[in-house]
Structure 1
Amino acid sequence: MPAEASAAVATPTRTTRQDPPLFRTFVEESLDALRAAPDRELLVHGEHRMTSRQFHALVHGMAHALAAAGVERATTVTLLSGNLPEAVAARYAANLLGCRVNHLYNKLSADVQATIVQDVETRVLMVDPRYADRAAEITDRVPVPHVFVLGGGGGSTGPDLTALAAGQPDDAFVSRARPEDICTIRHTGGTTGHPKGIVTTFEQVARMNRMATAVRPGEPAPRQLACTTLAHAAGLLADIVIRSGGTVVLHDDFDAGEVLATIERERVTRLFLLPPLLYELLDHPEFARRDLSSLRGLTYGGCQASPARIADAVCRLGPVLVQFYGQNEAGGISVLTADDHDPERPERLRSAGRVLPGVDVAVRAPDGRDLPVGELGEICVRSEGVMTGYWKQPGLTAEVLRDGWLRTGDIGFLDADGYITVVDRLKDMIVVVGGHVYTTELEDLVNAHPKVRQSAVYGVRDADRMERVHAAVVPVPGSGVTAEELRAAVREERGAMYEPAHITFLPALPLTDAGKPDKKLLRRLAEEAAARV
């Protein structure tokens, strides 16, 4: 063949043949980012302060230790832990091995936790030393091949993974994860039934992590306070802050006084709270005495918020509030920015903000028809953040995921400006004689009463299997508010259909691990009380 012909053939081969781009997990990208400032404070837990360098070494050491113990790619690692720095490192290490990670909610019963451990086919259980007794209860019910303790020297529960990590080579552990592998199995909070495992791949997590940013150009590195469980939204936000060059301050649980003191002491700039926890913060006697000037962003979400309470929060905290609407199944859906938080526009505060870029939202009738602007229907979502499905529940997955569209189970509407308003959960909506009672509408009304701090509305079936409206109310201390006073206010504003048949006054609402009002528990207590009559 002539040289000219050879060149003609060879040239397109050189320009069109390309190796596929190297896949990088969110863990690898986050660890890479730590090298820029190895001595910066990365994780704070009480008196324990961990630098980027220490975290980087611990993650790789743990990954080597797990591999040496025979832990293989595509197996399930379950975390039973509070908000420990070592728990964050352990999750990253397991993901480096290509393992799928399931983080248990700590306030679930041992029976439910054991069921989840078995359901997700757990091969490795990583245990906070403070939960050693609960780990023993779980493993008595469901044997697990490998059990490691996250510090404390180990013991009868299992070897100390942090000690094993210290004895491993210093070289970086090369990730074994593949894009299509399962990265996380996140469970629903269980407020409307048995917790379901929500599956997300490494490729999805990496993409969502790149899209999210905790800092704008020119802003200082964020200092995020995580005072709700890392098994929920706080874990996702911690990942974003770690990758963005910031610091995460960890609390094991929410305590309003401790949160206020920590914001002042640690100069916290970012905070995530569910609405009931935000109300507790506002109502705490230390609120007015603490220096909260460092706070630049307070994100809230996870359940419905009261427009009246949010307007009060804006007046007292300034323009720092941002509402985020999303689901574990759907990823992010919409955001109500700080600029949208105008106390003079309660209808805007009632919304969940504008739909995010890259997210398609449709409001649909029960027969699947798309509904026009302003009409109530089920919110359906399509985006790259939508889960791949529920863990080993193809039937349930098929019910909620169709042609790439996720049925969220939320009832709401879109307005002409592209703002989405969530009115209720389909499972929370109360069917009464004469129509439907949307629980969030009634909660908004009750929460706006000057003698009420918080409320939760839920339906309870009576002996005739008819649903009755029940409300649990946290009154302003010393206000002397009565059930008849609240019923009269509801009657006057919304009519008799919305009037609660039963009102229970409580010092505080029971909350789930994630910080949502535990309506399942409230409903059960009401049913038990009715059975005793």
Structure 2
Amino acid sequence: MSNTDRTFRTYVEENLDALSADPAREALVHQGRRVTAGEFRALVHRLARALSARGVGRADTVTLLSGNLPETLAARYAANLVGARVNHLYNKLSAESQAHIVRDVETRALIVDPRLSERAAEIVELAPVPEVLVLGPAKVGADLLELAAGQSDAPFAGRAEPGDVCTIRHTGGTTGHPKGICTTFEQTRWFHGVLPEQPEFERRQLVCTTLAHAAGLMADSTLQSGGTVVLLDDFDPGTVLATIARERITDMFLMPPLLYQLMDHPDAPDTDTSSLRMLTYGGCQASPARIADAVRAFGPVLLQGYGQNEAGGISVLTQEDHDVDRPDRLRSAGKVLPDVEVAIRDESGRDLPPGEHGEVCVRSAMIMKGYWKQPELTAEVLRDGWLHTGDVGFLDDEGYLTIVDRIKDMIVVVGGHVYTTELEDLLNSHPQVLQSAVFGVRDADRMERVHATVVRRPGSDVDAQQLCEMVRAARGAMYEPARITFVDALPLTDAGKPDKKELRRRAEQEAAAAG
């Protein structure tokens, strides 16, 4: 390793330094268990030595199958400290999909939450791995915590080099060839400076969505700032509200559908949420009407972050920009971050002027290294240093970026394109509608038809005909859904996005049964 490389410090080492500044402070909370900064730091060093003793090292892959435990974060830190790359599985995928990913990333060690040991047994039967290590006693694998207990908690020198792969995150399809997004240790350091600093308060972050997604990155930022991370096993709006009040939560991240559930919960009006300072949302399109409702409910604390695993952070709509009288502003994804370049381009690669719709292309230090073992796909989206995001959007004259749709989600109909998010915004503006999801379904003639799934407000009686009439009057016949179905709640992915694949599957199943 060169002298230059020796001076490099990973995000883990920087966070461990921050934890050592005040070892007695509360760093993590889970189910009443409170872990100090010193205890967490010692656990990371012990786990790193235990992994190293099992032969896990630089350029190996460690896959996590684990819920929101303090030990989950410690295991990720330890794996990165020994120089291994980390892949964190979404827990709600099928065993077959998880096994495919485990095999694809060449997993050296599978680290398992004891609560998921039965699933781990299913996975390793389909995709055997050299090591199964469990964060506690279980019937499958060795107890990693017991192995770590016998190790020293003296500082473990990081072994990663800047260009080594730090994380592999999977998005897109979960069968066949899912896309494994590779981010280096050097790039990962950029991720932690994306959100605006909030120096005026001591951060207490609530994690109520999976640590495998954005909440995990934000937890790293909270720990580095001297704050506390409060972990819930899953999202339940009533539990989240009670935790905000009890733990005096200042920060949290939610996908828009979960944010809507939170403010619509009957306990919301009577819950003390005055401690909130930064309620970050993102990951999928948000409804301006519903975001305005959230501002009224929680105050001027909302912040939208737009980005991709491939691109890192791209833009931010700050708390000050959340003006309930500016639905156009609430519809936007905010202003492009410093040190990030955005260009809106047409199919020929020509840069488009403000106001014109085209593909959002991004260039920054956070751009992924590439897709795991898919050089052709990497070359398709990474061209001349620019990442082609697959999002359709535009920049306005003031520099605000608005995302209109995913290219693959646009519905091609006779007469043009239907942008799903625009139709969702319109449906959500109806006073009796809480949420909607719009998607295309091919008919027997292979023509795409517009379908919408709608969640009504409790006690409302708006029907499909009334909504179609509203759409036809506002946007014309091209946008009118061929079918509207009503549900009590939208199905969500592990990360909290509306699961349009599942909605499309249901619609196709219903069509097949009817035809």
Q: TM-score, normalised by structure 1?
A: 0.94
- Map Cα deviations across residues 105-161 of structure 1 (whole Å, 9 max, x no partner): 11111111000000000010000001001000000001100001012x2x3311111
Matched, 1:503 2:484: yes
The 2-side partners of 1:299 and 1:193 are apart by 33
- Map Cα deviations across residues 186-223 of structure 1 (whole Å, 9 max, x no partner): 111549996311000011112333x3467434x23200
The 2-side partners of 1:419 and 1:327 are apart by 18
Q: Please, which of 179, 197, 212 is the counterpart of residue 231 of structure 1?
A: 212
Q: Secondary structure at the match of 2:409?
A: coil
The 1-side partners of 2:195 and 2:288 are apart by 27
Matched, 1:178 2:161: yes
The 1-side partners of 2:56 and 2:129 are apart by 12
Change (3 A) 1:189 1:290: farther
Q: Secondary structure at the match of 2:233?
A: coil
Matched, 1:159 2:142: yes
Partner of 1:255: 236
The 2-side partners of 1:448 and 1:194 are apart by 38
Deviation for aligned residue 1:73:
1.2
User: Given that residues 213 and 244 in structure 1 are in contact (C-alpha distance below 8 angstroms), is that contact kept between their aligned partners in structure 2?
Assistant: no
User: Given that residues 199 and 389 in structure 1 are in contact (C-alpha distance below 8 angstroms), is that contact kept between their aligned partners in structure 2?
Assistant: yes
AA partner of residue 496 (structure 2): G
Q: Secondary structure at the match of 1:203?
A: helix
Deviation for aligned residue 1:71:
1.3
Deviation for aligned residue 1:162:
1.1
Matched, 1:100 2:85: yes
Deviation for aligned residue 1:34:
0.7
The 1-side partners of 2:175 and 2:319 are apart by 31
Query: Where does structure 1 differ by over 6 angstroms across 4 or more consecutive aligned residues?
Result: 18-21
Partner of 2:57: 72
Aligned-pair Cα RMSD in Å: 1.4
Change (3 A) 1:214 1:441: closer
Matched, 1:34 2:15: no
Q: Please, which of 203, 206, 209 is the counterpart of residue 186 of structure 2?
A: 203
Partner of 1:134: 119
User: Given that residues 213 and 240 in structure 1 are in contact (C-alpha distance below 8 angstroms), is that contact kept between their aligned partners in structure 2?
Assistant: no
The 1-side partners of 2:141 and 2:92 are apart by 22
User: Given that residues 94 and 100 in structure 1 are in contact (C-alpha distance below 8 angstroms), is that contact kept between their aligned partners in structure 2?
Assistant: yes
Deviation for aligned residue 1:167:
0.7
The 2-side partners of 1:193 and 1:274 are apart by 27
Partner of 2:432: 451
The 1-side partners of 2:178 and 2:206 are apart by 27
Matched, 1:481 2:481: no
Q: How does 1:5-404 map to 2 (within 5 A)?
A: 22-151=7-136, 153=137, 155-188=138-171, 190=173, 195-209=178-192, 211-212=193-194, 215-217=197-199, 219-404=200-385
The 1-side partners of 2:43 and 2:50 are apart by 10
The 1-side partners of 2:453 and 2:173 are apart by 19
- Map Cα deviations across residues 440-460 of structure 1 (whole Å, 9 max, x no partner): 000000001011100000000
Deviation for aligned residue 1:19:
6.3
Q: TM-score, normalised by structure 2?
A: 0.97
Change (3 A) 1:189 1:88: farther
Q: Please, which of 448, 473, 476 is the counterpart of residue 492 of structure 1?
A: 473
Deviation for aligned residue 1:270:
0.5
The 1-side partners of 2:146 and 2:38 are apart by 17
The 2-side partners of 1:194 and 1:314 are apart by 40
Deviation for aligned residue 1:170:
2.9
Change (3 A) 1:192 1:149: closer
The 1-side partners of 2:116 and 2:396 are apart by 48
Deviation for aligned residue 1:317:
1.3
Change (3 A) 1:351 1:214: closer
Deviation for aligned residue 1:224:
0.4
User: Given that residues 326 and 333 in structure 1 are in contact (C-alpha distance below 8 angstroms), is that contact kept between their aligned partners in structure 2?
Assistant: yes
Q: Secondary structure at the match of 2:306?
A: strand
Change (3 A) 1:491 1:138: same
User: Given that residues 390 and 397 in structure 1 are in contact (C-alpha distance below 8 angstroms), is that contact kept between their aligned partners in structure 2?
Assistant: yes
The 1-side partners of 2:295 and 2:285 are apart by 17
Partner of 2:407: 426
Change (3 A) 1:367 1:265: same
AA partner of residue 126 (structure 2): R
Long gaps (5+) in structure 1: 1-17
